[in-house]
A and B are shown apart, each in its own frame.
Chain A
Amino acid sequence: MNRYPLWKNLMIVLALLVSILYALPNFFGQQPAVQISSTEDTPVTQALLDPLQKALDEAGLAVSDARLTDGKLILRMDDPALQLKVADFVRDWLRNREMADRYVVALNLLPKTPAWLQDIGGKPMVLGLDLQGGVHFLLQVDMETAIKQQYERLRDDIRTTLRENKIRYTAVKENGKAVTILLRNDDELDKALDLLRTQFPELDLNPYSENGKSGFRGVLTQAKLVEIKATALQQNITTLRNRVNELGVAEPLVQQQGDDRIVVELPGVQDPAYAKQVLSATATLEYRAVDDKHDAYTAHTTGRVPPGSRLYYDKAGRPVLLKKRLIVSGEQLVDAQYGLDTQTGQPQVSVTLNSVGAQRMRQFTLDNVGKGMAVVFIERKPETEMVDGKPVKKTRVVEKVISVANILEPFGKRFRTTGLDSPREAQQLALLLRAGALAAPVEIVEERTVGPSLGQENIEKGMEAVVIGFVLVLVFMALRYKLFGLVADVALFFNLVMLMALLSMLGATLTLPGIAGIVLTVGMAVDANVLIFERIREELRLGNSPHASINAGYDKAFSTIADANVTTLIAAVILFSLGTGPVKGFAVTLSLGILTSMFTAIMGTRMLVNLIYGGKQRLSGLSI
């Protein structure tokens, strides 16, 4: 007799039902939407939604759904033509309220998954850039330059320190790999070494001499090198995130890859040239004194700016009058860290300047206690404009005041900015300050752009291949194995459903090679059934009873199936660990497909075979 216990049948049916449920979200299609998210990590609130919705209604722009999801405001519409209009309207609306800097307005296509499915975590598969179109960049941070910059800073700092301590030197030089210090008098060697060791713990100092002069050769410690690289990478990631925000991309990705690379993925971006321009912008910052003798609002409204001052605006668009004389610039900023004041518990940002910056800062703050000082964040964005049909490269400069604070006491190398509203604001300021410090240059080392039409074509062709392959296999199996073939066909169908459900649940990205993996899975998944069915046939040929043959077929084929699949899995796993984007997608679908096929082709078909033949006491033969 061939029967599965009830629990086993129930388990299989349950697994199938769950699969159907989670595969469902892939069939509802997509809906155009406009997505509004905040540039500062704060979530968008009802305070924005209410007036905006009212304005939209008044303008006669029929948005079918407006709601806050995951801190973003999402406006959905049924008519694709409305999408651009709504986006433009929202941008204007924000600009009129001087909030344009605080929000990113992006076009998006969102799945029309019904609410009840969303509530149980149902979501469609994520499409890779090769399917939905978009830009993929791999950027490399120039670590050599980052380290060189550090040695240059050390060189300047060492000169200042030696001078301040009245130790005379003949040369302090660096070559990007080490800094060499040659003293005038040999009897000051010990004193200098002590001083340098305490002031520059990040250097490994060794005796060194050149042209009869003695001194030291300092090399950055391994720990410091690691730190420099990490900082250079982080700094660039921060800057890139800020840039990407401006592009108005709905779901951008900026992510570290390896020690010195950054991946930037911009789905839906159709103009890679523009994206490249925005990404290659550079940022710096300037500390400037606040002009407290004149009123900024008057200057703003009348347009009359006092001589010696300049009018700036802060993030909220409020005018600020600053002195033209520069105190310290980003090149002199070494580090900025956010933290909490150990005594008051208030959020603060600790800033470290190099020796040149420290000296200037000290001089300025000594004379200006009690007065205001502001930080201006400056971005230089290269742009290409067409002038008389020829591209002309230009640089657009965007300046913004990111912090205004009063000088409480004179300070130099290290100081703190307090009085910040929240830890989040402190964090933001520290990030921006670091982004504005002298950054290691980045270079695009890989670009892959897929236009939207090719993406759509890839999906269509891929799906067509899946369907044709699937139908061919269905027919073939039914012809060869009759009723058993039909059983295998049902299992193959559920294999696809389960694979789709798994991919959706795991949030795995579907790529064109990924679809190819599904196609290949369809062809290979029936292998398990072929093995079993051929075995059953053999057993029948040996004269065994139908029931015994079914049993033996499934039993004997099992270890073969397992062995054969493990080897394919090995290849798939290796592929996954090696692969980049699309190829990884192939490995994912192939390996998941193998796993689901083991379930459907062995347990699924067994259940059906048992249901068909299991109840019959006497069987004269099998339709195989």
Chain B
Amino acid sequence: MGTSMNTPTINFMGQRKIALVLSLTLMLLSIATLAVNGLKMGLDFTGGTVIELAYDPAPDLGEVRKVLESAGYNDVTVQTFGSTRDILIRLAPVEGKSTADLSNEVINQLKKGFDGSIEIRRVEFVGPQVGKELAEDGGLAMLFALISILIYVSVRFEKRFAMGAVAALVHDVTLILGLFSITEVEFDLTVLAALLAIIGYSLNDTIVVFDRIRENFRKIRKQGPVEVVNISINETLSRTLMTSLTTLLVVAALFVVGGETIHNFSEALLVGIVVGTYSSIYVASALALFLGISREDLMPPEKETEEVDAMP
């Protein structure tokens, strides 16, 4: 029996001012770093060429750089990728010069100057026009996702809940972007995909809490909104933590063994789940309260109210 585990009675909403201050501070910090440092946009959005090569034996990075520089490629970064044998070469987009042929030339140059085998692991080339389009489409997708969710939650719940939910999402996305900006992790299409998944996930959490708030407003009549929200969060707390934990477990597995290719993707998910869990407890509900959610807003139509009244 689970009776030994009683519902916790943590006063979440009592701390809501502290939480709001914390969230606002973090958001401002994120916006500040985004404004100052910006995001390190990946190849998908900037255009350019990325080449991943597997050397055997491991090469000297300085040597590789020298070969490329002497061949006239100036805006090049060379780094190891995963192991010392795997080399990642990035070529910035150059107006008029960035073509798909560039990667061939680079690889030929490197093969000429190296005594050993070089295997092509990955070549990605994105033309400047395509990069611009992908960035625009990505931004649009984000906007569409937020608007559709705003509409859905408005229809299913109430507009103050919807605003709380969307505010929580904006909060999550801003914080993740802020962290990516500070840690200079590359932002590419897969990270964008992770962000959208986080939007879905965080909202999932928020909705479970909202659902309970709605139910409790109808059921508990003696207490004020703050207490009702508090009770609801406490009641759903074990579920929130449990689901976050299982999801964190799998994403951590992805992060650790999934390989370099989806490293940034799983990192975004990992951060997103933590932030998303926090925001659905503090941000969404607190904001709904702040916006003045009340019992009347959530009451079902008249007929059902009478039924509830008739109950002992």
Q: CA of A523 to CA of B246 in the docked complex: distance in angstroms?
A: 5
Q: CA of A378 to CA of B261 in the docked complex: distance in angstroms?
A: 43
Residues of A within 8 Å of B258, CB to CB, are 461-462, 465, 516, 519
Please judge, given known A-B contacts A523-B251, A564-B207, whether A513 and B190 are in contact too, CB under 8 Å: yes
A575 within 8 A of B: yes
**Per a CB cutoff under 8 Å, which of B112, B148, B238 touches A534?**
B238
**Per a CB cutoff under 8 Å, which of B100, B141, B238, B247 touches A574?**
B141
Does B119 lie within 8 Å of A453, measured CB to CB?
A: yes
A327 within 8 A of B: no
Residues of A within 8 Å of B262, CB to CB, are 512-513, 516
Does B127 lie within 8 Å of A534, measured CB to CB?
A: no
Does B200 lie within 8 Å of A570, measured CB to CB?
A: yes
Q: Give B123-144 interface residues, CB cut-off 8 Å to A.
A: 123-127, 129-130, 134, 137-138, 140-141, 144
Does A446 lie within 8 Å of B259, measured CB to CB?
A: no
Interface centre among A138, A446, A472, A512 (most CB of B within 10 A): A446
B54 within 8 A of A: yes
Does A586 lie within 8 Å of B104, measured CB to CB?
A: no
Residues of B within 8 Å of A157, CB to CB, are none
Q: CA of A130 to CA of B120 in the docked complex: distance in angstroms?
A: 13
Please judge, given known A-B contacts A451-B119, A571-B196, whether A461 and B257 are in contact too, CB under 8 Å: yes
**A6-14, A108-116, A537-545: which one contacts chain B?**
A537-545
Residues of B within 8 Å of A540, CB to CB, are 1-3
Residues of B within 8 Å of A473, CB to CB, are 246, 249-250
Contact residues of A: prevailing secondary structure: helix
Does A477 lie within 8 Å of B246, measured CB to CB?
A: yes
CB distance from A385 to the nearest CB of B (A): 12
Question: Scoring B residues 237 to 258 as 1 if CB is less than 8 Å from chain A, else 0, what string do you get?
Answer: 0110011011111110110011
Please judge, given known A-B contacts A445-B129, A446-B125, A541-B6, whether A580 and B249 are in contact too, CB under 8 Å: no
Interface centre among B120, B138, B253 (most CB of A within 10 A): B253
A560 within 8 A of B: yes
A605 within 8 A of B: no
Please judge, given known A-B contacts A458-B261, A527-B243, A583-B193, whether A519 and B253 are in contact too, CB under 8 Å: yes
Q: CA of A253 to CA of B257 in the docked complex: distance in angstroms?
A: 32
Q: CA of A541 to CA of B3 in the docked complex: distance in angstroms?
A: 5
A336 within 8 A of B: no
CB distance from B229 to the nearest CB of A (A): 16
Interface centre among A444, A454, A470 (most CB of B within 10 A): A454
Q: CA of A125 to CA of B123 in the docked complex: distance in angstroms?
A: 25
Does B124 lie within 8 Å of A622, measured CB to CB?
A: no
Question: Scoring A residues 495 to 532 as 1 if CB is less than 8 Å from chain B, else 0, what string do you get?
Answer: 00000000000000000110010011011101100110
Interface residues on B, range: 35 or more
**Per a CB cutoff under 8 Å, which of A272, A537, A569, A582 touches B5?**
A537
Residues of A within 8 Å of B266, CB to CB, are 516
The closest CB in chain A to the CB of B156 belongs to: A563
**Per a CB cutoff under 8 Å, which of A461, A538, A578 touches B138?**
A578
**Per a CB cutoff under 8 Å, which of B127, B134, B203 touches A568?**
B203
The closest CB in chain B to the CB of A274 belongs to: B104
A590 within 8 A of B: yes
The closest CB in chain A to the CB of B3 belongs to: A541
B265 within 8 A of A: yes
Question: Scoring B residues 181 to 212 as 1 if CB is less than 8 Å from chain A, else 0, what string do you get?
Answer: 00000000110110011011101110110011
Does B138 lie within 8 Å of A451, measured CB to CB?
A: no
Residues of B within 8 Å of A465, CB to CB, are 250, 253-254, 257-258
Q: CA of A389 to CA of B122 in the docked complex: distance in angstroms?
A: 24
Q: CA of A566 to CA of B207 in the docked complex: distance in angstroms?
A: 10
A413 within 8 A of B: no
Does A572 lie within 8 Å of B127, measured CB to CB?
A: no
11 examples of A-B residue contacts, CB within 8 angstroms: A444-B125, A448-B122, A451-B54, A453-B119, A519-B250, A531-B239, A565-B204, A571-B200, A572-B196, A587-B193, A624-B2
Q: Which residues of A are interface residues toward B (Cβ below 8 A)?
A: 130, 137-138, 140, 270, 272-273, 276, 384, 389, 391, 443-451, 453-454, 457-458, 461-462, 464-465, 468-470, 472-473, 476-477, 480, 512-513, 516, 519-520, 522-524, 526-527, 530-531, 534, 537-538, 540-541, 559-560, 563-572, 574-575, 577-580, 582-583, 586-587, 590, 621-622, 624
Closest 9 CB pairs of A and B: A469-B250, A571-B200, A568-B200, A523-B247, A523-B250, A445-B127, A444-B100, A578-B141, A461-B259
Q: Which residues of B are interface residues toward A (Cβ below 8 A)?
A: 1-3, 5-7, 52, 54, 99-101, 103-104, 107-108, 112, 119-127, 129-130, 134, 137-138, 140-141, 144-145, 148-149, 152-153, 156, 189-190, 192-193, 196-197, 199-201, 203-205, 207-208, 211-212, 235-236, 238-239, 242-243, 245-251, 253-254, 257-259, 261-262, 265-266, 269
